[in-house]
Amino acid sequence: RTARFTLDPAFTVAQVNPRLFGSFVEHLGRCVYTGIFEPGHPTADEAGLRQDVLDLVRELGVTAIRYPGGNFVSGYKWEDSVGPVEERPRRLDLAWRSTETNRFGLSEYIAFLKKIGPQAEPMMAVNLGTRGVAEALELQEYANHPSGTALSDLRVAHGDKDPFGIRLWCLGNEMDGPWQTGHKTAEEYGRIAAETARAMHQIDPGVELVACGSSGQSMPTFAEWEATVLAETYDLVDYISLHAYYEPLDGDVDSFLASAVDMESFIENVVATCDHVGARLKSKKKINLSFDEWNVWYLSRTEAEVSALDWPEAPRLLEDNYSVTDAVVFGSLLIALLRHADRVTVACLAQLVNVIAPIMTEPGGPAWRQTTFFPFSQASRYGRGEVLDVRVDSPTYETKKYGEADLLHATAVRAEDGTVTVFAVNRGRAEPLPLEVALNGLGLTRVVEHSALADADPDARNTLAEPERVVPHAVEGTQVTDGRLTAVLEPLSWNVIRLA
Ligand code: AHR
């Protein structure tokens, strides 16, 4: 059977916020050390930043980059990470049973963003696990105040004359999770988040703040957590966060392929909860969603990996090597975010380099693209503009976790110049999926390109030995005739169809 949908410029979702293509750099494993930062590497610049990695980060097309954690931030002392490098202390990182050298810190993070280019924006988390309002204010003053106060002058003395201008701030990380250092109840967190937000607005009413939502839809406190936190913070914050990671459990690949069903319901449930609190408060304000951690992550392997550590520096941790199947699920997660671009206005792929990442590196050696690199770079490049409303009529398949799921998952984005890009996933493992799209009133007459990520071996991956084993390929035969697009989506494939 053929999958179908209609595109019409009268039916739209929203403009895509560029922040939807954000990412995340945490002091975890080798994301920072030997990832983005490796003094002595043949491509390192004077600041120790790897140019081979910077090139790939630019090609990936990331925008807001969240920092410095993650679970790491709940023990973070920002003062350790500034000033002369040789005077910076070594600390225990409780989150990842590692030793943090603080060789890379706040100033280096801002320098890294500047080197990526103007599209990169800071998204800084404050520690609300072991610390509170005072330390958040001190960090904000150090980072953003021009000069003439103790902390802003300290930044200038450290060599950063210009303020960092950090606008987007996360009020802690995953405070609902019992694993979080300084874990809190919703009431406790709601109060400290509200007081931190109020105080940060006293320094600068223009900052944008993200309150912690749930670490996942399956958390026992899910929804009640959001409602309680927002009851305290509704007028003070701009976003509530969502985190979600997916992996195939017990070999159930069919459910794994439908992971975006869960992601979309998570988003819709958080929107409902935000709007419920807004209705209770009789507020006209809408809280938007910051999906600031999402990815495929083989999380079930991680606990043993971490507990075996004996405080090493920058160990190999969470270095998942992604297959074609993983990349198709990953692409489908991107489609889910785009389909909800009206309320998801920030999203961060967790993470950027080495740690569950699209970019891998070898210390002293090369950097390369994982399979997941391609859906992200294509979505960031062609997913700018207005999301069109896509309601698919698709053949379905049976999954253990989500019941009947559509074989087709799709969205479409219309750029300012009128060109349209369809992003589509065929979740079917065995059969190609014929696709027909009615193109109403869009003036589209031709296919510019149909690119697909698929492989006869769904387990194929890129590795140090074979870094370009999997790359997207061109698909022939896709056509626009009389206002109708016809295509065939290969089994288990991520597709980008550009129309003009
Ligand atoms: O991204 C890895 C970890 O996942 C983050 O540190 C934490 O916030 C989440 O549990």
CA distance 60 to 291: 18
Question: With a 6 A CB cut-off, is 248 part of the ligand 1 pocket?
Answer: no
Say what the pLDDT of residue 395 is: 98
Order of strands, edge to edge, in the sheet holding 479-481? 3-7, 433-439, 484-489, 479-481
Given 174, 232, 264, 490, the catalytic residue: 174
Q: Are 194 and 229 in contact (CB under 8 A)?
A: no
Say what the pLDDT of residue 174 is: 98
* CATH of range 17-382; options 3.20.20.70, 3.20.20.80, 1.10.10.10, 3.30.540.10: 3.20.20.80
Q: Are 406 and 390 in contact (CB under 8 A)?
A: no
CA distance 471 to 453: 7
Give CATH for domain 3-9+389-499.
Answer: 2.60.40.1180
CA distance 208 to 199: 13
CA 133 to each of CA 28, 87, 234, 337, 458: distance values in angstroms, whole numbers, following the listed order = 25, 26, 18, 32, 49
Q: Are 68 and 25 in contact (CB under 8 A)?
A: yes
Residues in the chain predicted with pLDDT less than 70, given as ranges, are none
Say what the pLDDT of residue 137 is: 98
Residue 122's SS3 state is strand
Say what the pLDDT of residue 303 is: 86
Helix 133-144 and helix 186-203, axial crossing angle in degrees, nearest 10 = 30
Mutate to test the pocket of ligand 1, among 72, 96, 173, 217 (most ligand atoms within 8 A of CB): 173
CA distance 84 to 48: 15
Nearest CA, atom 1, ligand 1: 350
The ligand 1 atom at the shortest distance from the C-alpha of residue 72 is 6
Q: List pLDDT tens digits, range 423-475.
A: 999 999 999 999 999 999 999 999 999 999 999 999 999 999 999 999 999 99
CA distance 479 to 485: 6
Question: With a 6 A CB cut-off, is 293 part of the ligand 1 pocket?
Answer: yes
Tell me, in angstroms, the distance from the centre of ligand 1 to residue 369's CA: 22
Say what the pLDDT of residue 155 is: 98
Say what the pLDDT of residue 294 is: 98
- Would you say the C-alpha torsion 269, 271, 272, 273 has a positive or negative sign? positive
CA distance 370 to 469: 10
Q: What are the sequence ranges of the domains in the chain?
A: 3-9+389-499, 17-382
Q: Is 174 a catalytic residue?
A: yes
Question: With a 6 A CB cut-off, is 135 part of the ligand 1 pocket?
Answer: no
